[in-house]
Structure 1
């Protein structure tokens, strides 16, 4: 079966605010998404005192018919979200310390990046047009997989006493006993 793919450009809006600790001068978070946005490279959108919002980049949201289960989970959450992954930008021509790396609608893929601990992973609420885009794709291409419970074999595994030491070595006492102190040891 061929994998079906659909795409839409999405602008990534990043908000920079002053840090709340002395160890971090700035706090960065993805604050919004712009469906159908044009190209951008850290273009300043709005400034409120020290807080600044940037159109960091426009990325392509790709949906694949093979990943619809992850999209179903995202859509079923209390607030449907996309996951945005920002990685540290150490290049010499970097304007700011982060660069958008990934945009996904799959809750499974987003969770995988969040658990890795690398970069900054943000759950960003989907605007209504993106909810409609993902929902329509899922309705057109999702195939519910039937759960197949694994059947046990009938072999009785409790009749063999495996795991009680090496069978080649004769053991006269209980292998689970606590070791006795050696003579002369003071506890």
Structure 2
């Protein structure tokens, strides 16, 4: 599903950052856009920055289910700074998976924004999740009782013949034999 990403530009609060950028909304089914001005209020401006596809994959159904349980259910917009562009941001990805968003947040290079899903988008993701999510049955792994304690791998030194001397160092045995 194509999602338009709305980005707000506000004046920076420090002398080192002229502008502060934040993704604030998504527009389901939006057409193509390239930083189209939507609204202006004083120095604050909102742009329809880009339209990117929201792709859902069956293997990620558990992650989408987890994301739908959040209050409110959210999508995550990944923005990447690129000084060669004007404005200096690129909309990299929109995802419904909180796990994938965490991966992008962990790299420290990208800006990840959590945005509440519109109701129609919640219904679409919920329908996909219901169709593809399969709860995996938990199976406790059990140890094979036959092999426990049969072999003492790695114990002692093979040059020592007596069972009682298994932990004794070979050097001590040679000294005892020489005496």
Sort the TM-score into its range (normalised by shorter chain).
0.7 to 0.9
Q: 2:82 aligns with which of 86, 89, 94?
A: 89
**Corresponding position of 2:21:** 28
| Aligned equivalents of 2:124, 2:21: Cα separation in 1 | 28
The residue correspondences of 1:93-132 to structure 2 (distance < 5 A) are 94-132=85-123
Give the direction of change, closer, same or farther, for the CA distance of 1:19–1:146 in structure 2 (3 Å limit).
same
What residue ranges of structure 1 are gaps of 5+ in the alignment?
A: 1-7, 171-187
Higher helix share: 2
**Corresponding position of 1:145:** 136
TM-score (norm 1): 0.76
Give the direction of change, closer, same or farther, for the CA distance of 1:28–1:153 in structure 2 (3 Å limit).
farther
Give the direction of change, closer, same or farther, for the CA distance of 1:102–1:168 in structure 2 (3 Å limit).
farther
What residue ranges of structure 2 are gaps of 5+ in the alignment?
A: 156-166, 171-179
Number of residue pairs matched by the alignment: 157
Secondary structure at the counterpart of residue 138 of structure 2: coil
TM-aligned CA deviation for residue 78 of structure 1 = 1.4
Q: 1:12 aligns with which of 2, 5, 28?
A: 5
The residue correspondences of 1:26-65 to structure 2 (distance < 5 A) are 26-65=19-58
The structure with more radius of gyration: 2
TM-score (norm 2): 0.79
Q: In angstroms, what is the RMSD of aligned CA positions?
A: 2.5
| Aligned equivalents of 1:108, 1:97: Cα separation in 2 | 26
| Aligned equivalents of 2:138, 2:79: Cα separation in 1 | 35
